[in-house]
Structure 1
């Protein structure tokens, strides 16, 4: 098992509802702990990660700040609707990033959509998202 959501593994951010030149969405999948994507103040906010092929997701770990409620959804190809994998309400954190792990239950996915439904402030940040699993064999 390895991190399927790394840009060096071929993963791409194909949609993000906000972007800042200093804190672009690609920062979430660059493998670094000190970079992040920031939202622009309105909710909901979302981003979609596209994997290089169909994958089997074991766990998803997200490191973020000021996120109150989020939803994770998957689709098994580009033409199918997204299905909810998990919905979580995160506890606030004063100075450290929030960290949450979600079981993927070995669900098959080509795309992962993360919807930040609300935050503890006008802006929030996602430092890193790791998707642990395996590529499906064809």
Structure 2
């Protein structure tokens, strides 16, 4: 069985909504697979973004690489449209000055066609999201 990262544009993942956008740091950077590029928020919280997988995927582990995020909530949807989200997890993240936060979320396998990430609060006025890794296997609905 081969595990894959479904949060990559090369796997068909797409950021279909982001509550803020800066042309230098667009939301698409979240799914390009590189830590050097990122999406940045432009002010107030909460901020959120939604990743679409274009098919139902089964995820066993999520890794989020970000900076200055204090509280993060992750929700999933298996609908054909980005509606009917259910909360998977909410966690307060640890912050170390000058270091990217790499937070792993392990749970029993979840199925999702969409994941919504809500940044509820931050350690500063702006945060950045660098990379998402959603490990899992494809299952047909």
Aligned with 2:14 (options 12, 15, 36): 12
SS at match of 1:26: helix
Kindly report the root-mean-square deviation, in angstroms, between the aligned alpha carbons of the 2 structures. 1.1
SS at match of 1:27: helix
Equivalent residues of 1:73, 1:112 under 8 A apart: yes
Task: Normalising by structure 2, report the TM-score.
Answer: 0.94
Mapped partners of 2:94, 2:43: distance in 1: 19
Mapped partners of 1:62, 1:79: distance in 2: 20
Aligned with 2:31 (options 7, 21, 29): 29
Equivalent residues of 2:45, 2:121 under 8 A apart: yes
**Matched residue, 2:102:** 99
What is the aligned residue count?
138
Equivalent residues of 2:82, 2:114 under 8 A apart: no
Deviations 1:46-105, CA, capped at 9 Å, x for gaps: 000000200111110000000000000000112641000000100112011001000142
Mapped partners of 1:29, 1:65: distance in 2: 16
Stretches of structure 1 that go unaligned for 5 or more consecutive residues are: none
Stretches of structure 2 that go unaligned for 5 or more consecutive residues are: none
Task: Normalising by structure 1, report the TM-score.
Answer: 0.96
- Please list every run of at least 4 consecutive aligned residues from structure 1 whose deviation after the TM superposition is greater than 2 angstroms: none
Aligned with 1:56 (options 45, 55, 58): 58
**Matched residue, 1:111:** 114
Mapped partners of 1:79, 1:8: distance in 2: 21
Aligned with 2:67 (options 50, 65, 88): 65
Mapped partners of 2:97, 2:53: distance in 1: 33
**Matched residue, 2:40:** 38
**Matched residue, 2:78:** 76
